[in-house]
């Protein structure tokens, strides 16, 4: 372990570069503001201390000229920062098409990760370099927050819903993963590491795990075990919405609202079906909350997303 005093974190993802630039610009502005205030304060304190003979005549009487000047100046600078920050924020929180999707389950006090090939790991995440990785995250108990300082990405993992973030590492290496939302006794040790590997090393790592069933295959097994297939299979005679090609479409609900069928929507439909009845279908789906773990939900989601094809308008 090196004993240099660290001043700056690793910068190991395209996300981190973009945030770094904004951070440096803000440090610059902060420096200018501090220098202005300290400079004025020091100048005035030295020039106008009690014993100084400097003239005090002709003090500024009309102050509003100055006040308007620095109101406008600060407002303009602030608006630039606001727009810049908002643009990057939207970019950070709207995932682009991903090369790989991994699933993260947070619980007191560990990170459980599942890869699409069915590989599982705890408190560690292996990813290939220069690939866009999308993480779908759920919590089994309290609010956690997934944070990789070297990537400058963070998102709370709130129980009862799914959260999505993405990153694209551009350096290989091992980077710290931590929880930044206080989550109970061992919050401080709810850490892990992100191993960014070259493409070849990553492929080797995946095969070394010796897993036989991919996440989709596991999901299909869950789909049958919980009886989902009884209604939602294409051959089923029950009047239930088709899941083929569902992911990413807009769904019209009975209550008149329109929902994007993303991961969170699919999860909500499984665990709280009565609130998400699809228009034109009877509300007959049983409630699976409490019977199915967040890990199983992820497998189901992976399976449902794999059902490619045209969404039928109505059965």
Partner 1 sequence: MSVTTVERAASVEPPARSQPSYLTSGNTIASWLLTRDHKRIALLFLASITFYFFIGGIAATLMRLNLATPQGLLQPAVYNRMFTMHGIIMVWFFLIPSIPTTFGNFFVPLMIGARDLAFPRVNLASWYVFNLSGLVVLYALIMGGADTGWTFYTPLSTVYANGYVFAAAMAVFINGFSSIMTSLNFIVTIHRMRAPGMTWMRLPLFVWAIYAVSIVMLTATPVLAMDTFLLAVERFIGVGLFDPNHGGDPLLWQHMFWFYSHPAVYIMILPAMGVVSELIPCFARRPIFGYSGMTIALMSLAILSFFVWAHHMFVAGISIYAGIVFSLMTFFVAVPSAIKVFNWTVSLHKGSIVFDAPMLYALGFVLLFTVGGVTGLMLATLAVDVDLHGTYFVIAHFHYIMVGATVSAFFGALHYWWPKITGRLYPEMWARFAAILTYVGFNLTFFPQFILGYLGMARRSYTYPAVWQSWNLLSSAGASILAVAYVLPLLYLGWSLFRGLKATANPWGATGLEWTISSPPPKHNFERTPVVVTEPYCYDPERHTFVTQEGVLHDE
Q: Which of residues 34-53 bind partner 1 (CB under 8 A)?
A: 34, 37-38, 40-41, 44-45, 48-50
Contact segment (CB under 8 A) with partner 1 among 57-65, 214-222, 232-240, 246-254 equals 57-65
Nearer to partner 1, 243 or 285 (CB): 285
Nearer to partner 1, 161 or 311 (CB): 161
The single residue among 110, 129, 136, 153 that binds partner 1, judged by CB under 8 A, is: 153
Take residue 251 and report the two structure tokens written for it.
């769904």
Q: What are the φ/ψ torsions at residue 173 (nearest 5 degrees)?
A: 145, -175
Contact segment (CB under 8 A) with partner 1 among 75-83, 112-120, 123-131, 248-256 equals 75-83
Instruction: Determine the Cα–Cα distance for residues 260 and 264; give it in Å rounded to an integer.
Output: 9
Nearer to partner 1, 178 or 296 (CB): 178
Binding of residue 160 to partner 1 (CB under 8 A): yes
Contact segment (CB under 8 A) with partner 1 among 128-136, 138-146, 238-246, 298-306 equals 138-146
Asked whether 249 and 315 are in contact (CB, 8 A), the reply is no
Binding of residue 141 to partner 1 (CB under 8 A): yes
The single residue among 98, 142, 174, 292 that binds partner 1, judged by CB under 8 A, is: 142
Name residues contacting partner 1, limited to 290-309 (CB under 8 A): 290
Q: What are the φ/ψ torsions at residue 215 (nearest 5 degrees)?
A: -60, -40
The single residue among 289, 293, 309, 315 that binds partner 1, judged by CB under 8 A, is: 289
Instruction: Determine the Cα–Cα distance for residues 92 and 132; give it in Å rounded to an integer.
Output: 12
Angle among Cα 149, 151, 154 to the nearest 5 degrees reads 65
Please report how close the Cβ of residue 297 comes to partner 1 at its closest, in angstroms: 13
Please report how close the Cβ of residue 220 comes to partner 1 at its closest, in angstroms: 27
Q: Are strands 250-252 and 163-168 parallel, antiparallel or unpaired?
A: unpaired
The single residue among 17, 96, 122, 182 that binds partner 1, judged by CB under 8 A, is: 182
| Residues in CB range of 148: below 8 A, 6 or more apart | 13, 154, 167, 175, 176, 177, 178, 194
The single residue among 99, 121, 123, 156 that binds partner 1, judged by CB under 8 A, is: 156
Collapsing DSSP to helix, strand or coil, 18 comes out as helix
Angle among Cα 28, 29, 33 to the nearest 5 degrees reads 120
| Burial per residue of 201-234, b for 16 or more beta-carbon CB atoms within 10 angstroms, e otherwise | ebeebbeeeeeeebbbebbbebbeebebeebbbe
| Burial per residue of 119-145, b for 16 or more beta-carbon CB atoms within 10 angstroms, e otherwise | bebeeebbbbbeebbbbbbbbbebebb
Binding of residue 86 to partner 1 (CB under 8 A): yes
Nearer to partner 1, 73 or 225 (CB): 73
Binding of residue 277 to partner 1 (CB under 8 A): no
Contact segment (CB under 8 A) with partner 1 among 87-95, 197-205, 213-221, 295-303 equals 87-95
Binding of residue 257 to partner 1 (CB under 8 A): no
Size of the site for partner 1 (CB under 8 A): 89
Instruction: Determine the Cα–Cα distance for residues 238 and 137; give it in Å rounded to an integer.
Output: 32
Binding of residue 163 to partner 1 (CB under 8 A): yes
Binding of residue 224 to partner 1 (CB under 8 A): no
């Amino acid at each position: 372990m090196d004993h240099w005093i660290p001043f700056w974190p690793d910068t190991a993802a395209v996300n981190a570069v973009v945030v770094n630039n904004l951070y440096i610009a803000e440090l610059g502005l902060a420096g200018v503001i501090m220098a202005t205030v300290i400079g004025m304060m020091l100048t005035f304190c030295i020039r106008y201390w009690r014993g100084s003979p400097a003239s005090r005549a002709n003090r500024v009487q009309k102050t509003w000229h100055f006040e308007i000047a620095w109101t406008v100046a600060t407002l303009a600078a602030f608006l630039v920062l606001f727009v810049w920050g908002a643009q990057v924020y939207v970019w950070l929180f709207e995932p682009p098409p991903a090369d790989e999707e991994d699933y993260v389950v947070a619980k007191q006090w560990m990170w459980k990760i599942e890869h699409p090939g069915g590989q599982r790991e705890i408190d560690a995440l292996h990813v290939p370099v220069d690939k866009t990785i999308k993480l779908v995250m759920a919590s089994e108990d309290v609010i956690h927050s997934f944070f990789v300082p070297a990537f400058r990405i963070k998102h709370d993992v709130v129980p009862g819903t799914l959260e999505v973030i993405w990153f694209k590492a551009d350096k290989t290496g091992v980077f710290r993963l931590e929880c930044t939302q206080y989550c109970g006794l061992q919050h401080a040790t709810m850490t892990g590491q992100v191993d960014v590997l070259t493409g070849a090393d990553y492929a080797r790592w995946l095969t070394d795990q010796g897993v036989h069933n991919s996440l989709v295959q596991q999901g299909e097994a869950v789909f049958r075990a919980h009886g989902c297939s009884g209604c939602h299979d294409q051959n089923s005679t029950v009047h239930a919405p088709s899941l083929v090609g569902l992911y990413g479409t807009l769904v019209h609900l009975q209550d008149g609202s329109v929902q994007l069928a993303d991961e969170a929507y699919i999860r909500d439909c499984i665990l709280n079906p009565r609130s998400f009845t699809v228009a034109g279908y009877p509300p007959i789906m049983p409630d699976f909350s409490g019977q199915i773990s967040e890990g199983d939900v992820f497998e189901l989601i992976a399976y449902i997303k794999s059902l490619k094809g045209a969404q039928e308008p109505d059965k």
